[in-house]
Each structure stands twice: as C-alpha cells, then as structure tokens.
RNA sequence: GGCGUCGUACCCAAGUGGUUUAAGGGACCAGUUUGCAAAACUGUCAUUCGCCGGUUCGAAUCCGGCCGACGCCUCCA
C-alpha cells in the first residue's frame, strides 16, 4: 500500500518511488514578490502543503525548497512605479508572504532561496547552454534558448510548437530571435531597468524567469530530484522551459515527478482584477475567515479539479471546522489524550488508502466523517473501551497533522471574561436563569461564545 | 486552428464497468438531549448521474453524436 500520484510528465498515475530510499527532494514554485499573494496562489501552496504533510506522515524525510522570485518584469515595474528600490519592494512582499503562510498553518519550506542570490549559478547554466549550442546571444546582448535543440520540447505541456497560435504579443516580441518560440535566458539591460542589472559575459542585464527556477532547484536539490510542483498555469511555458534548459545543460534527467494543482475559481469564474474578485488573506481575515475554514474550503476538493471559492461558503466551512473542534474537545474531556495507545483504528487504513491514491482528500474526508460520527456516538453512549478511546485520539492527531483543520491552541481567557464566567456559574447554581442569560449575551458581545456542557461552561473565541 | 477538462440532489462534492438499488459535507424539515440556548446525536432528503444513441449479461463509469460551462497555446499559482 504505497503512494501513487498523477505525473503530469507521463499523464499517468504512477507509483511514487524516491531516488534515495526515504529521502524526498521537493521543489515548489514560490511567489513573485511584487504584490500580496491571493487566494488562488494559496490553493496551490495548500495543495503542496497537503502533499508534504502526507509524505511526512508516510515516514519520508522531505527536503522542501520554495523559491522567491525577487527579480522579473513585474517586480522591476513595481519598484519603478513606486519609486522604491527593488529590494524594498521584494522584502516587503516576501515578509507578507511568509506571514500569510504561517497564518494559514502551511509548513514552511526548509529553505526559501531568492533568485537574486543565485545569479552566478544562472550565468553558469547559460554558459553551458551556449557552449552546447543550445542557446545563442543576439545583437542586443540577450541570450535565448534554442528550442530546436531540445527534441523533447512540448512533452510536459503536450504541445506541438507548430500548432502555436501566433498572438499579437508574440509577434511584437519577435525582434531578434531565431524562432518566435525561443525564450529568454538572459535579458539585456534596458533604460527602464534603472539600476537593476547584473554583469555577465554578455554584458549587463538580468536573468529570465525560467532559468531562475532551474538554477535554484539544482543548486539546492541536485541536478536530478524527485518532485516539482506548481499550479497548472506553470506547466507551460515555465516548467516546460525548465526541463528544456536543465536537461540541456546537464544532459541528465531533471525531475521524476511533476504535480500540478488546478485553478481556483471565485464564484464560478476566473479571478480577475476587473471583476474585483481577487481575495488577499488580509481581506479574508477582515471577513472573519479562519485559517482552518480556508484550509477546509480549499483542501476538501481534489487538487486536480477546479475548486470554487466563495464567501457564501464561509458558513458551511465554519460549521465543518466547528464539528472537528467539537470532536477534539469531546475526546479531550474524556482524557483520550492521556491514554497511551498508538494503535490506529481500522478506518485509518481506509483513510490511508484514499490518501495514497493521488491524495484523494474528498474520499479520505468521507471516511473520516463516518468514523467520527460513529466514535462520537460510542462516546456519548459510553460504549467505548479505553483502548478505543486512545486509538481515536491517535487517529485524530494523525488526521490533523495532515489537514490542519483543528486549531488546537486554546485561546487565552482574559481576566475580565473569566470573572464574568464565575458570576454566570454562580447564577446557574442559584437557577437565576435570567441573569445567566444576560451574562451569556454580554460575553457574546465581547466576542466569546459560552456553551453549557455536562462538565460546566466552555468558552471559545468567536470566529 | 491545436491540445485538454468538466456537466452527479436545494448547494458543495466523491464515484478506479458488477459487494453503489450513487460516498461524504452543508442547508432545510422532524425528533432526542438541554433551565433556555449552543453543540452533539437520530431520522428524512437523486429509482437517478446534461441530452440522444451504441457496446455489454450488466454503464454515472466505455464508444459516437449533440447541447452547455471552462482551461492552456510566451512569463498568470
């Protein structure tokens, strides 16, 4: 019972076999730091998080690299527009990105290399490609990759370059390239670039976007590694070009498995600035979305299907997250966490089977819901053994280590709140229901929800 | 023009030709519980899978056609 994943390269579900035993080298395309990342970006990052967490659960030792693209057309444009240095812009958005990742409870990569720290490696790669006649320098000092030299080009994206529709933009771009499909490895300095340039054997300029990922991934993970992920829109041209230039330069196979997550739609359509449906984490926080609720909404669909994000789904997701939390609390109240039992219930095997089948989260969640309901029933009817209680706790912990739907951190109760709680407890003892209800209302206006349980009052922060 | 995806209940969403007379979640409604709530639990909720044909003993699943939605085809996760 081992992990099987869909490989974009072969278009098949394949058994996942790492190059070195239990070591998995994973590269995920990170953000271009010219703006705050939006919910669509995070769909991909959450998929990658689920993959990584599942690999870790299976016992693999995962080395995860996520790059930060801190020099490209958009970052330069932004820095000129805002009259700030490139570094100022990229630092600002890199920090914001890392904050958002952490808020969403996405496990951080082992390393977040910045493109500008790997210019030497990029130059080296380009030199190798020129030496092999797979790249050429134009009159302006830009370097292009010669697609003709890469017979396998188009395999990942399943595209034949002869069939490319010639868009206006492409034609405009076609200044001194041998073929319109050739892509830039190095872009010669232009007036507009201001003081943003690096020296190279071909004159000053800056790297193309695709070579950045090749250089960083190979520098950190070696020329040949296990997994490379991104969104479907990265398949072409970005990943196709990475393969061409990396395999061209090294003469070796670049990556064994390519995985891509589908797009996120917002209210049934593509995100676009004109519709104004691009949500940033900050805005979602203002709408009172919790990280768990967003995780559930984006992870409960299979990663290779389009998932629809909607503000209207918030209540539904909050409710599900609440159910998980209630179950967690139910087990805790029954001291399940104190029972030493690491044996997992039979349902775990089914859950594992589903997850091992190309991360079939919807099916796995179905299994979990059925088990959760059954177990809750057994607990409230007191028909559960101590061993089973312990194994329920173990399964729940495994589940949460993979999905992260339960916020296990107890909110700190301020003194003001706990003194109201004490008063309410007294009122309830005296059966002064009117006063108890007034206090409950008061707590709610202060943002705390109080519930009366068999074990007494339980407060939680309103989300 | 080329390549590809999808259409399953009020909504979301699994379904890998026969242990599926279609998982799971949400909403609704009814009930249990509760001082009242909340939460939780129980029950109800698609004879049917966009439409029409075909293959098969058997199709949501395979094939063909049609209708509808969508993605990629040079820098957007």
Q: Of A437 and A461, which is predicted with more confidence?
A: A437
> Average pLDDT of A276-298?
90
* Residue A169 reports pLDDT greater than 60: no
Structure tokens at A221: 């993970």
Compute the distance between CA of residue A33 and CA of residue A44 in angstroms, rounded to an integer. Answer: 16
CA angle A20, A25, A28 (to 5 degrees): 160
- Sketch the domain layout of chain A as residue ranges: 4-261, 281-403, 415-461
CA atoms within 13 A on the CB side of A226: 22
Sheet strands (E) in A189-279: 205-207, 225-231, 255-261, 264-266
Is nucleic acid strand B under 7 Å from A455's C-beta? no
- Show Cβ contacts of residue A399 under 8 Å, excluding neighbours closer than 6 positions: A351, A368, A405
- What is the pLDDT, as a whole number, of residue A254? 95
Task: Work out whether strand A264-266 and strand A255-261 pair parallel, antiparallel, or are unpaired.
Answer: unpaired
CATH of A4-261, picked from 3.90.76.10, 3.50.50.60, 3.40.50.620, 2.30.110.10, is 3.40.50.620
Q: Are A211 and A243 in contact (CB under 8 A)?
A: no
Whether residue A69 contacts residue A112, with contact meaning beta carbons closer than 8 Å, is answered with no
- Those residues whose C-beta lies under 8 Å from the C-beta of residue A46, and which sit 6 or more positions away, are A104, A106, A295, A298, A299
Q: Is the pLDDT of residue A170 over 50?
A: no
Q: What is the pLDDT of residues A273-283, one digit of tens each?
A: 666 778 999 99
Q: Does A150 contact strand B, using a CB cutoff of 7 Å?
A: no
Instruction: Find all residues with CB under 8 Å of A36, minimum gap 6, and list them.
Output: A93, A96, A97, A100, A280, A281, A282
Strand B at less than 7 A from CB of A435: no
Interface residues 92-121 of A with strand B (CB < 7 Å): none
Distance, CA of A11 to C1' of B54, in Å: 28
What local confidence, expressed as pLDDT, does residue A455 receive? 78
Task: Say whether A143 sits in a helix, a strand or coil.
Answer: strand
Q: In this model, does residue A83 exceed pLDDT 80?
A: yes
- In chain A, the percentage of residues whose pLDDT exceeds 70 is 95
Token representation of residue A432: 């002064």
Indicate whether A1 pLDDT > 80.
no
* pLDDT the model gives residue A341: 77
Average pLDDT for residues A323-341, to the nearest whole number?
A: 89
Predicted local confidence at residue A274, as pLDDT:
65
Distance A223 CA to B46 C1' (A): 52
Q: Would you state the pLDDT for residue A453?
A: 84
What is the tens place of the pLDDT at every residue in A108-130? 999 999 999 999 999 999 999 99
Taking 70 as the threshold, does the pLDDT of residue A162 lie above it? no
A336-384 per-position pLDDT tens digit: 999 987 789 999 999 999 999 999 999 999 999 999 999 999 998 888 8
Q: At a CB cut-off of 8 Å and minimum separation 6, what does A91 contact? A: none
CA distances A75 to A69, A83, A124, A196, A262, Å, are 9, 12, 24, 11, 25
User: What's the CA–C1' distance between A6 and B11, in Å?
Assistant: 29
Comparing A47-51, A102-106, A412-416, the range with the smallest average pLDDT is A412-416
Bases of strand B lying below 7 A from some protein CB: 1-6, 11-16, 23-27, 34-42, 70-77
Separation between the CA of A438 and the C1’ of B11 (whole angstroms): 36
Our measurement of CA A207 to C1' B57, in angstroms, reads: 64
Q: What is the mean pLDDT of chain A?
A: 90
Of A25-29, A172-176, A285-289, the one with minimum mean pLDDT is A172-176
pLDDT digits (tens, 9 = 90+) for A172-217: 444 567 888 899 999 999 888 888 999 999 999 999 999 999 999 9
Q: What is the ipTM of this complex?
A: 0.93
- CB atoms near residue A151 (< 10 Å): 9
A274 touches strand B (CB under 7 A): no
Distance CA A39, CA A327 (A): 28
> Is residue A25 pLDDT above 70, yes or no?
yes
CA angle A255, A124, A35 (to 5 degrees): 70
- How do residues A233-281 score in pLDDT, each as one tens digit? 899 899 999 999 999 999 999 999 999 999 888 877 777 766 677 899 9
The distance (Å) linking the CA of A169 with the C1' of B74 is 9
Is the CB of A178 less than 7 A from some atom of nucleic acid strand B?
no
Picking from A137, A131, A136, A156, the residue whose alpha carbon sits closest to that of residue A147 is: A136
Within its chain, how far is the Cα of A453 from the centroid? 37
């Amino acid at each position: 019972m081992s992990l099987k994943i869909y490989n974009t390269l072969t278009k098949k579900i394949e058994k996942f076999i790492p190059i070195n035993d239990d070591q998995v080298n994973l590269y995920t395309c990170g953000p271009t730091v010219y703006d705050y990342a939006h919910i669509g970006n995070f769909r991909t990052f959450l998929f990658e998080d689920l993959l990584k967490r599942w690999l870790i659960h299976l016992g693999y030792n995962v080395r995860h690299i996520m790059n930060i693209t801190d020099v490209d057309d958009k970052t330069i444009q932004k820095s000129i527009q805002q009259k700030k240095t490139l570094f100022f812009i990229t630092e600002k958005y890199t920090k914001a990105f890392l904050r958002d990742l952490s808020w969403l409870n996405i496990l951080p990569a082992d390393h977040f290399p910045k493109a500008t720290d790997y210019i030497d490696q990029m130059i080296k790669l380009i030199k190798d490609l020129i030496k092999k006649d797979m790249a050429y320098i134009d009159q302006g000092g830009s370097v292009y990759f010669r697609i003709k030299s890469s017979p396998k080009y188009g395999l990942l994206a399943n595209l034949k370059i002869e069939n490319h529709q010639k868009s206006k933009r492409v034609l405009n771009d076609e200044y001194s390239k041998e073929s319109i499909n050739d892509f830039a490895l190095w872009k010669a300095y232009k007036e507009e670039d201001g003081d943003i340039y690096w020296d190279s054997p071909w004159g000053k300029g800056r790297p193309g976007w695709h070579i950045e990922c090749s250089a960083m991934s190979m520098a950190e993970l070696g020329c040949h590694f296990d997994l490379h992920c991104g969104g479907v829109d990265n398949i072409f041209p970005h990943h196709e070009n990475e393969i061409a230039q990396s395999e061209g330069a090294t003469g070796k196979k670049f990556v064994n498995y390519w995985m891509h997550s589908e797009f996120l739609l917002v209210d049934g359509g593509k995100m676009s600035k004109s519709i104004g449906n691009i949500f940033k984490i900050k805005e979602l926080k203002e709408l009172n979305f919790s990280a768990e609720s967003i995780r559930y909404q984006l992870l409960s669909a299979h990663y290779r299907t389009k998932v629809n994000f909607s503000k209207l789904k918030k209540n539904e997701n909050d409710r599900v997250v609440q159910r998980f939390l209630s179950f967690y609390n139910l087990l805790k109240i029954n001291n399940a966490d104190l029972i030493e039992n690491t044996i997992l219930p039979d349902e775990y095997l089914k859950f594992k089977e589903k997850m091992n089948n190309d991360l079939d989260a919807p099916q796995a969640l179905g299994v979990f819901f059925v088990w959760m309901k059954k177990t809750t029933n057994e607990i409230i009817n007191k028909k559960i053994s101590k061993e089973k209680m312990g194994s329920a706790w173990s399964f729940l912990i495994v589940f949460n280590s993979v999905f992260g739907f339960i916020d296990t951190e107890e909110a700190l109760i301020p003194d003001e709140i706990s003194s109201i709680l004490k008063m309410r407890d007294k009122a309830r003892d005296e059966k002064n229901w009117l006063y108890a209800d007034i206090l409950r209302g008061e707590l709610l206006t202060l943002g705390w929800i109080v519930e009366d349980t068999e074990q007494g009052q339980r407060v939680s922060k309103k989300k």
